[in-house]
Structure 1
Amino acid sequence: MKTTIIFFILVVLLDCSVLSVHLTSNVYARNVNETSQFYYYKQFIDHYDKSCGTFSQRFLINSTYYKPGGPIFLNTPGEGPITVKASGISEIAASFNGLLITIEHRYYGESYPSIKNLTTPNMKFLTVNQVLADFAEFIKNPPTDIIKIPKDAKWIFVGGSYAGNLATWMRKKFPKLVFAAWASSAPLLTKINFFEYDQGVAHALPCHDRVADAFKFVIDPILLSGNRTEITALKSQFGLDVLDDDQDFASAISHPVSLMVQSYFPPTSPSEIDTIPTFCAAFTKAPDNKPETSTLILAQVTKFFLNVSGITTPDAIKTNFATSALNTSVPNDMVSFMYQYCTQFGWYQIAPKPPKQSLRSQIVNRDYYQKQCNFVFPEIPPPHVKRIVRQFGGNTGRFSRTIFINGELDPWKHLTISGSYHKTISRNKVFLIKYASHINDLRFPTSVDSDSLKCARKFIIETLAKWLCVKCITDVSGFVKCQ
Structure 2
Amino acid sequence: MVFSKAQCLVLLLLWNFTDAGRILMKMKQRVRDVQLQRAKQHLLTAALQHVKEGRIHQQLDHFNRQDAKTFPQRFFVNEAFWQRPDGPVFLFIGGEGPVYEFDVLAGHHVDMAAEHGALLLAVEHRFYGVSINPDGLKTENLAHLSSQQALTDLVVLHQYIVQSFSLSRRNIWISFGGSYSGALSAWFRGKFPHLVFGAVASSAPVKAELDFSAYSDVNSNHGPNMSIFSGL
TM over 0.5, shorter chain = yes
Partner of 1:43: 58
Q: Give, in angstroms, the shift of residue 174 of structure 1.
A: 0.7
CA contact (8 A) 1:61 1:100 kept: yes
Q: Cα distance, 1:19 vs. partner?
A: 8.5
Number of residues paired by the alignment? Answer: 181
- Separation (CA, whole Å) in 2 of partners of 1:172 and 1:190: 14
Cα-Cα RMSD: 2.7
Are residues 1:90 and 2:110 paired?
A: yes
Superposition deviation, residue 199 in structure 1:
6.3
Instruction: State the Cα deviation string for residues 105-137 of structure 1 (Å, max 9, x = none).
Output: 11010000341x623202121111110000011
Q: 1:120 to 1:56 in 2, by over 3 A?
A: same
Give 1:101's aligned residue.
Answer: 121
Pairs within 5 Å for 1:294-305: none
- Residue 139 (structure 1) aligned with residue 154 (structure 2): no
Distance in 2 separating the partners of 1:19 and 1:39: 19
Structure 1 unmatched runs, 5+: 1-16, 21-32, 202-257, 264-336, 346-387, 389-483
Deviation at 1:94, TM superposition (A): 1.5
Aligned mate of 1:53, from 69, 82, 101: 69
Q: Structure 1 141/39 Cα, relative in aligned 2: closer, same or farther at 3 Å?
A: closer
In structure 2, distance between residues paired with 1:18 and 1:173: 38
Give the Cα separation in 2 of the matches to 1:41 and 1:143: 13
Relative contact order, higher structure (CA 8 A, sep 6+): 1
Whole-Å separation in 2 of the counterparts to 1:84 and 1:125: 26
> CA separation of 1:35/1:152 partners in 2, compared to 1, >3 Å: closer, same or farther?
closer
Write out aligned runs for 1:63-462 (5 A).
Answer: 63-67=79-83, 68-85=85-102, 86-115=106-135, 118-142=137-161, 144-145=163-164, 147-191=165-209, 192-193=212-213, 194-198=215-219, 201=222, 258=223, 262=225, 341=229, 344=230, 388=232
Report the Cα offset of residue 143 of structure 1.
Answer: 6.4
Corresponding residue for residue 400 of structure 1: none
Deviation of residue 35 (structure 1)? 4.6
Contact 2:127 2:137 in 1 (8 A): no
Residues 53 and 119 (structure 1), Cα distance of their counterparts in 2 relative to 1, 3 Å cut? closer
Flag the structure with larger Rg: 2
Structure 1 contact 106–112 (Cα < 8 Å) conserved: yes
Q: Provide the C-alpha distance between the structure 2 equivalents of 1:18 and 1:128, rounded to a whole number of angstroms.
A: 35
What TM-score results when the alignment is normalised by the length of structure 1?
Answer: 0.35
Contact 1:18 1:35 in 2 (8 A): no
CA-to-aligned-CA distance 1:205-259 (integer Å, 9 cap, x gap)? xxxxxxxxxxxxxxxxxxxxxxxxxxxxxxxxxxxxxxxxxxxxxxxxxxxxx36
**Cα distance in 2 between the residues matched to 1:34 and 1:101:** 15
Please, what TM-score do these two structures have when normalized by structure 2? 0.69
Q: 1:151 to 1:114 in 2, by over 3 A?
A: farther
Residues 267-293 of structure 1, C-alpha deviation per residue, up to 9 Å, x if partnerless?
Answer: xxxxxxxxxxxxxxxxxxxxxxxxxxx
CA contact (8 A) 1:57 1:112 kept: yes
CA distance in 2, matches of 1:54, 1:61: 22
Which runs of no fewer than 5 residues in structure 2 stay unpaired?
Answer: 1-43
1:141 Cα deviation after fit:
3.1
Distance 1:55 1:19, change over 3 A: farther
Structure 1 contact 18–36 (Cα < 8 Å) conserved: no
